[in-house]
Amino acid sequence: MNINNALNELLVVLFKDINEIEEKAIRTGQYKNMTANDMHVIEAIGLNGAKNMSAVAKALNVTTGTLTIAINSLVKKNYVERVRSEEDRRVVLVSLTPKGRKAFHHHKKFHDDMIDQIVKQLDEPEKQVLEKTLTTLAEFFKSKK
């Protein structure tokens, strides 16, 4: 078994596991009814005030039709507020409710904790190599887009 194969298998396993763990972590306690998809939309809306549908859809790389349906569900679950703009009445502005903001922080905390735990496992040279690897990986994907 050469090192390339070993690296490939390790990366595949890591991505699979991290996704799984992250999704499971979302659906705890008061956020039981939230899907991973819901969380992505909540992250894309963010904490900095209202955003229009097109902007959020673009950030998520989905059509506005798709986003409309996701927002319907989030409004029903009371994570998101939807308001028609007064300045341009074609525009719909979405923002997080208090409950939505709490969910945002809940997820961010999970994320921060996860990174902390990863970094805690590594000594300084390992951190350097890992950072270099992830940077290369990010560039590889960027070049493929």
The residue ranges that bind DNA (CB under 7 A) are 35-38, 52-54, 61-73, 82, 88-93
Minimum gap (Å) between residue 91 Cβ and DNA: 4
End-to-end CA distance of the chain: 31
As a whole number of angstroms, the distance between CA 16 and CA 4 comes to 18
Binders of its own copies in range 24-63 (CB under 8 A): 24-25, 61
Q: Which two tokens stand for residue 2?
A: 């050469």
Footprint of its own copies on residues 84-143 (CB under 8 A)?
A: 111-119, 121-122, 125-127, 129-142
List CB contacts of 117: < 8 A, sequence separation 6 or more: none
**Interface residue list for its own copies (CB under 8 A):** 3-4, 6-8, 10-15, 17-21, 24-25, 61, 111-119, 121-122, 125-127, 129-142, 144-145
